[in-house]
Copies of this chain bind each other. A is one copy, B any other.
Amino acid sequence: MPFGYRGPYIPTMTVRLVAHYHVRSDASSIAARAEAIAAEQSVEMPVSAIDDRTVLDEIVGRVESIGELGDGQFEVRIGLAPSTTGFEPGQLLNMLFGNTSIQNDVMLADADFPEAFVAAFKGPHSGLDGLRTRVKASSRALTCSALKPQGLPPSDLAKIAGQLAAGGIDYIKDDHGLADQSYSRFKDRVTACADAVAESSARTGVATRYLPSVSGNLDSLRQQMRHVIMSGLDAVLIAPMIVGLPNFHTLVRENPDIAFMTHPAMAGAARIAPSFLLGKLFRLLGADATVFPNFGGRFAYSPEECRRLAATALAPWPSIRPTVPVPAGGMSIERVDEMLDFYGTDVMLLIGGSLLAARERLSQETARFVEAVRRHG
């Protein structure tokens, strides 16, 4: 009976990083499969060929438990030595799922981080409270829209940003497709949109924030951050799986006054549980707000997955601030009440395309969205 199996006792001097995998297997081979994953994610060689006592005791992954999930799925928990990660974000991901990501019978479901990871990575600087404070919202849900489509010149994007801000929205993020393109250079776009939002904001009295999408290698990210700060902005959008976790986390640590909203592009969510990647790992590395596909939109997340993701992003975690869940992807004003009933008020609602479809009535539609959120409950 493999269930409830615990590996042979091996003394260890460190509290392990425990990765949870969901593995498709038959019951007779799950114990061996679990041992194989433990080796793959640590020493990546036959354990029988290792003589070194320290490596065997401290470094080789350890099967902590195996549980049956039903439908031919097992939950396997592997204890990994924290020291193997070097406490570097890329190497952390490598140790959690590097090679095993290539095995299509395994999904990374979750991980338990010992305290050393909290001390090393620290999580968001602003988090839920910081994002509420920025827009003077005490306890209500936050509102957000997206600047699109790419291809427009900076002046046209700025016009849309100004209209969204005129509707009194809290946050306006760049579409994650806006980068540094010939038809709309990052600096020109950011300057133009920041000015347009500031102008509308002065009229409405709402402290609307504009979040430019930052991209490229670390040099380019740092240049863009300098321009963001020079433009008087204090929040950005970033896609950690595109720029690389090491760059994302470096930027977070270097910019304590900037809030980071993460975008799930390339999150390959079919193989890593969204609640872990977008809700927990991005939070550990410093996401203040995390965008994810809401159920019933263009993506196939289930309500359960969305609820789990939001709960994970907000769950109590000593000395790590809560990350704001930002459900998005094909949302509309008509769903505001349903979404707030579902998520509560510790949330930022993001409506993009369906507001933009209002064209010249964009400000009024935005105001209707804002009003629907304020009125709720």
Residues of A in contact with B (beta carbons under 8 Å apart): 36, 40, 42-46, 48-52, 54-55, 58-60, 81, 83-86, 88, 90-91, 93-95, 97-99, 101-105, 146, 148-152, 156, 175-177, 179-183, 215-220, 239, 242-247, 249-250, 264-271, 293, 298-300, 352-354, 356-357, 359
Contacts and interface: CB of A to CB of B under 8 A. Distances in A.
B359 A97 contact: no
Contacts of A94: 176-177, 179, 215, 239, 242, 265-266
Nearest to A56: B151
A215 B91 contact: yes
A300 B101 CA distance: 11
B242 A49 contact: no
Copies in the complex: 2
Nearest to A177: B44
A182 B54 CA distance: 14
Contacts of A146: 44
A84 B184 CA distance: 10
A186 to B, nearest CB: 9
By Cβ-Cβ distance, the 4 closest A-B pairs, closest first, are A244-B244, A59-B151, A98-B265, A43-B149
Contacts of A244: 90, 217, 242-247
B175 A44 contact: yes
Given A239-B98, A247-B244, A268-B268, A88 B215 contact: yes
A46 B353 contact: yes
A181 B249 CA distance: 18
Contact of A149 (B50, B101, B266): B50
Contacts of A181: 83-86
B86 A45 contact: no
A240 to B, nearest CB: 9
A132 to B, nearest CB: 27
Contact of A83 (B99, B102, B182, B293): B182
A269 B181 CA distance: 29
A353 B298 CA distance: 44
21 contacts: A42-B150, A44-B176, A49-B359, A50-B149, A52-B151, A59-B150, A84-B150, A84-B181, A90-B242, A91-B242, A98-B176, A99-B264, A101-B266, A101-B267, A101-B268, A102-B268, A102-B299, A103-B300, A105-B300, A217-B247, A268-B271
Given A43-B177, A49-B356, A90-B242, A84 B247 contact: no
Contact of A49 (B90, B151, B249, B357): B357
Given A84-B177, A268-B271, A298-B40, A246 B148 contact: no
A250 B299 CA distance: 33
B239 A270 contact: no
B242 A217 contact: no
B83 A45 contact: no
A185 to B, nearest CB: 9
